[in-house]
Amino acid sequence: MLTIETFYTYWKSTYVAAAGVVNGNQLYRVKFGKSTSESAQTVSEGQGYGMLITVMMAGKDLTAQTTFDGLFRYARANPSVNDSRLMDWHQPDHSDGDDSAFDGDADIALALVLADQQWGSTGTINYAQEAKNMIAGISASTIGKTSYLPMLGDWTEQNGKKYNQWTPRSSDFMLDNFKAYGFITGNTAYWNTVVQNSHSVIDTIQAKYTTGLLPDFITGTSLSTVTPAKANFLEGSTDDDYSYNAGRDPWRLGVDALLNNDAKSLSETRKMSTWIQSSSGGNAQKIYAGYTLTGTKLSGSNYFTAFFAAPFGVAAMTGGEAQQKWLNDIYNGVKTLHEGYYEDSVNLLSLLIMTGNYWGVNTFPK
């Protein structure tokens, strides 16, 4: 636990900042980076990461609940203009609009579900009710009405010409989150459909590539026609590759396999994990910063970063004894590596899983 405590102390002191007082309550936000310009910014994704991390560390940090509550209150103080139950994805106000991004809201909602288990909901914040409110917003504004797939945000039109209910980000297949939503709302049938349709898309893409890798973005018109998006679909030239969005996939799918014993998630994760071990020659330092879906490293990606390595550590946990040494090598390569906000946050969440300090609604430590 010492490594996790040390990393957490570093992460919290580096990225969590006081963000004013509202109605006598201190707000906190997660800084987007270390530079002056980056540290002035906050994204909803970071608030979600921060809330997940602090609820997991409550047993070792006596101020975790205070920080958690401040992070949530900051999210509530900055709602999306489209659905006030969701968070405006970027602070200060962004030229692209004051709307939501799916993953930030999805992690904030999961963290609230876990907070209800960690602290109960009879205090100043009713975590269970706040979770239900946010999950209702996610369902109403960011899940496809026909596809039952996660949409990019509440700005996405169900049947928009370019961005719609059939154009998900692969890293938004947050299956453990969806199962937690079913748990707390009782609407398991709905969220199981979201899970199963997400699996369908993953399986369709993986069937085309022996690497098991998924692209940053996906397009299609039905579950059977989904395909990698084209370059420059939304964010850049690697939108069709396994890059800085999809790099979270081994963590997202792996944690569902580990916590919920999901056979499909296990199979999907194993494809990626066995491929990366083979591709790197069993040398964790040879995990590169992005690949084409056929397994060629991307131009300019010839470097090691915890963002790509740490999630593969989560995936390696599904491999049993056959991947234990591989898991150890990844863990040793990332456990003290400090980079930027994005890398460090994904690394810490992955380390929590790798060290057995991450839990879900079915594995809450009683």
Q: Which residues are tagged catalytic?
A: 45, 103
Report the C-alpha gap between 304 and 294 in whole angstroms.
20
DSSP state, residue 16: E
AA letter at 275:
W
Report the C-alpha gap between 327 and 321 in whole angstroms.
10
The helix (run of H) or strand (run of E) holding residue 348 is helix 341-354
- Where does residue 266 rank: exposed (0-12), middle (13-18), buried (19+ CB within 10 A)? middle
Report the C-alpha gap between 34 and 6 in whole angstroms.
18
Q: Which of these, 271, 129, 268, lies nearest to 137 by C-alpha position?
A: 129
Phi, psi of 291 (to 5 degrees): -145, 155
The widest CA-to-CA distance across the chain, in whole angstroms, is 56
Q: Tell me the H-state helices in 57-165.
A: 64-77, 102-119, 127-142
Lookup: tokens for 155:
């700005």
Which residue in the block uniquely carries the two structure tokens 């169900």? 158
Judge whether 222 and 204 are in contact, CB under 8 Å: no
Distances from the Cα of 363 to the Cα of 26, 98, 114, 358, angstroms = 31, 36, 11, 9
Report the C-alpha gap between 269 and 246 in whole angstroms.
13
Lookup: tokens for 308:
């790509």
